[in-house]
């Protein structure tokens, strides 16, 4: 039997306009998340959210490397790491879910990026794939079959969450109009979508569900 899950990626203040790592038009996806939660209650068995949840000393932050600027690359424990502005620090306003998101509909939240030594774009694993957030195990434990993903940012946390989700053998759907990307380099968003399609991720629109 099918068991559909709605997975909301990083709908946090720091990723919407005005935030520390604002994704262009990131706020536009909140309406879509709200209407899916309100109008597709019988379609989704559960609604799960992720939160980027960094300690202040996280090594993905440029300020934690003397002489380095945002956007520069470093080697972080053997993995290439782009340096970000300080964002989503645990228990700060920037890390909170966007206040206009109807978060009372969310059944469970998984945190990621808590280890200062490794970044975690995926909601399932750290970037070194050594530590799980527990999300995959949880989805398995409730016998979820189909995971519908939306959120921020298409070319980082959404992409890596969707790729891990498909790798874990869940049928994975990307709700495209419910995502916005950073597009640091031209075509990053477009290439991310192509990469996801190549891994058998189904690209859909919220109107296919609503």
Residue among 5, 10, 111, 178 that touches ligand VGL (CB under 6 A): 10
Q: Tell me whether residue 145 is exposed, middle or buried, using C-beta atoms within 10 angstroms of its C-beta: 0 to 12, 13 to 18, 19 or more.
A: middle
In residues, how long is the chain?
210
Count Cβ atoms within 10 A of the Cβ of residue 195 and give its class: 0-12 exposed, 13-18 middle, 19 or more buried.
Answer: middle
Please identify which of the residues 59, 112, 164, 165 carries the catalytic annotation: 112
Q: Which of 14, 52, 126, 155 binds Zn ion (CB under 5 A)?
A: 52
Q: Which is nearer to Zn ion, 27 or 119 (CB)?
A: 119
Q: Give the β-pairing of 73-76 and 202-204.
A: unpaired
Residues 34-53 that bind ligand VGL (CB under 6 A): 52
Q: Which of 115, 150, 147 is nearest to 130 (CA)?
A: 115
157 is catalytic: yes
Print the binding letters for residues 84-123 with Zn ion: x by CB under 5 A, - otherwise: -----------------------------x----------
Does the CA dihedral 30-210-103-47 come out positive or negative?
negative
141-200 residues near ligand VGL, rule: CB under 6 A = 152-153, 156-157
- Binding positions for ligand VGL, rule: CB under 6 A: 10, 15, 52, 84, 152-153, 156-157
- Binding positions for Zn ion, rule: CB under 5 A: 52, 113
């Amino acid at each position: 039997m099918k068991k559909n899950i709605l997975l909301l990626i990083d709908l946090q203040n720091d990723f919407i306009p005005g935030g520390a790592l604002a994704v262009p038009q990131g706020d536009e996806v909140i309406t879509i998340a709200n209407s899916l939660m309100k109008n597709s209650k019988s379609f989704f068995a559960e609604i799960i959210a992720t939160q980027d949840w960094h300690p202040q000393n996280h090594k993905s932050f440029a300020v934690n490397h003397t002489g380095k600027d945002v956007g520069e690359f470093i080697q972080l424990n053997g993995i290439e790491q782009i340096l970000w502005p300080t964002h989503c620090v645990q228990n700060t306003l920037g890390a909170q879910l966007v206040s206009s998101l109807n978060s009372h509909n969310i059944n469970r939240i998984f945190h990621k990026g808590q280890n200062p030594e490794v970044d975690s774009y995926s909601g399932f694993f750290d970037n070194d794939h050594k530590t799980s957030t527990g999300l995959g195990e949880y989805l398995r434990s409730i016998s979820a079959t189909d995971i519908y993903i939306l959120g921020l940012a298409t070319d980082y946390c959404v992409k890596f969450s969707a790729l891990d989700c498909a790798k874990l053998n869940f049928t994975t759907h990307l709700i495209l109009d419910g995502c916005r990307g950073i597009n640091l380099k031209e075509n990053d968003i477009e290439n991310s979508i192509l990469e996801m399609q190549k891994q058998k991720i189904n690209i859909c629109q919220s109107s296919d569900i609503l």
